[in-house]
Amino acid sequence: MRKLNRIILHCSATEPGHDIGADVIRTWHKARGWTDIGYHYVIRLNGVIESGRSLDRIGAHVKNHNADSIGICYIGGLDVNGDPANTMNGRQLDSLKRLCYALCVTLNQPLMLHGHNEYSTKACPSFTVADTLEELKSWCASYQRRFIDQRPPASLELTQYSSGAHCTCGNRECNS
Ligand SMILES: [Zn+2]
């Protein structure tokens, strides 16, 4: 595995309700002459995480910053007028958290979390990661190999979604 230090977040620059996945983005990127999709992960509108380029391969998502980074793209990033807007919904945010936790735990190391717009004049991912995702960024950056409980703080806990009506019993452990 190559040495990884950073997660760089992107958006697909697509308008609300335009639901595409890694297969479509792969087609776009191959049309540019690339060998494969440039991102390592894609987070769809419904929160499903799709694999893009294999993590052990250098991505193609931020010029001059691909060698040690992981590219994650959420679907969206434009408003109905086609202007940059943070359109990341709750399920996408939960999936981003899960993915960031899993990457830190799997690689067993801290990872810096950045947005594409920190390295480019582009708007992508249509918000400032250091502000909007301040706590997630901090958790990833301070991850250490520990032998003690390392759960994220309550403010970073995942939302429980169920297919049925949402339970209002008030018990946080209740998923019915
Ligand atoms: Zn980008």
Domain ranges (residues) in the chain: 6-148
Name the nearest CA neighbour of 128 among 139, 112, 117, 137.
Answer: 117
Distance 157 CA to ligand 1 centre (A): 26
In whole angstroms, what is the distance from residue 45 CA to residue 41 CA?
Answer: 13
Q: pLDDT grade, residue 148 (50/70/90)?
A: low
More reliable by pLDDT, 112 or 151? 112
Structure tokens at 75: 């679907």
With 90 as the cut, is the pLDDT of residue 151 above it?
no
- What residues sit around ligand 1, an ion, with C-beta below 5 angstroms? 10, 116, 124
State in words which class domain 6-148 has.
alpha beta
Q: Is the pLDDT of residue 42 over 90?
A: yes
Tokens linked to 150: 């390392």
Q: Is the pLDDT of residue 155 over 90?
A: no
**Where is average pLDDT lowest: 55-64, 112-121, 167-176?**
167-176
DSSP SS3 for 115: strand
Entry pTM? 0.85
CB 69 within 8 A of CB 5: yes
Q: How many Å lie between the centroid of ligand 1 and the Cα of residue 62?
A: 7
Which residues face 173 on adjacent strands? none
Q: What is the whole-number distance in angstroms between the Cα of residue 60 and the centre of ligand 1?
A: 10
Give the pair of three-digit tokens for residue 87. 């359109």
Per DSSP bridges, beta strands 41-43 and 49-51 are: antiparallel
Residues serving a catalytic function are: 10, 39, 116, 122, 124
